[in-house]
Amino acid sequence: GQSLEQPSEVTAVEGAIVQINCTYQTSGFYGLSWYQQHDGGAPTFLSYNGLDGLEETGRFSSFLSRSDSYGYLLLQELQMKDSASYFCAVRDTPPDDWGKLQFGAGTQVVVTP
């Protein structure tokens, strides 16, 4: 079957660094995306890794290892506004035929003062 595994919750203090891991087992793989969703809000795109390595976007970085079927999202210099759910999502079809994302269950990040 197909699955994405990520921790259900992570708690950290303001200013800290948090790493959210995502392991996946899918029939096809063409890339890993990360989305942020605040309570009651819409998912918002954060980053995408199509190749192995690290992608950095401001305080957020995302990493992919295709050989390990593993990726992570790194949140640095945590702020209270980073309290939200974070989802990893797999593209499992080629880019020219790609239609859907397969999402994990999400990781609730709680930032405390």
Partner 1 sequence: DTGVSQDPRHKITKRGQNVTFRCDPISEHNRLYWYRQTLGQGPEFLTYFQNEAQLEKSRLLSDRFSAERPKGSFSTLEIQRTEQGDSAMYLCASSLVDPSVAQYFGPGTRLTVT
Residue numbers of the site for partner 1 (CB under 8 A)?
A: 4, 31, 33, 41-45, 48, 50, 87, 89, 91, 95, 98-106
Contacts with 56 (C-beta within 8 Å, 6 or more apart), sequence order: none
Least distance in Å: CB of 48 to partner 1?
4
The first and second tokens of residue 113, run together, are: 């003062």
Nearer to partner 1, 32 or 78 (CB): 32
Least distance in Å: CB of 47 to partner 1?
9
Residue with tokens 């990040």: 109
SS3 82: helix
Least distance in Å: CB of 43 to partner 1?
5
Nearer to partner 1, 43 or 71 (CB): 43
Query: Is the CA virtual torsion 99, 103, 108, 111 positive or negative?
Result: negative
How far apart CA 103 and CA 79 sit, in angstroms, is 25
Nearer to partner 1, 78 or 86 (CB): 86
How far from the centroid of its chain's Cα atoms is residue 52's Cα? 15
Nearer to partner 1, 18 or 31 (CB): 31
Least distance in Å: CB of 89 to partner 1?
7
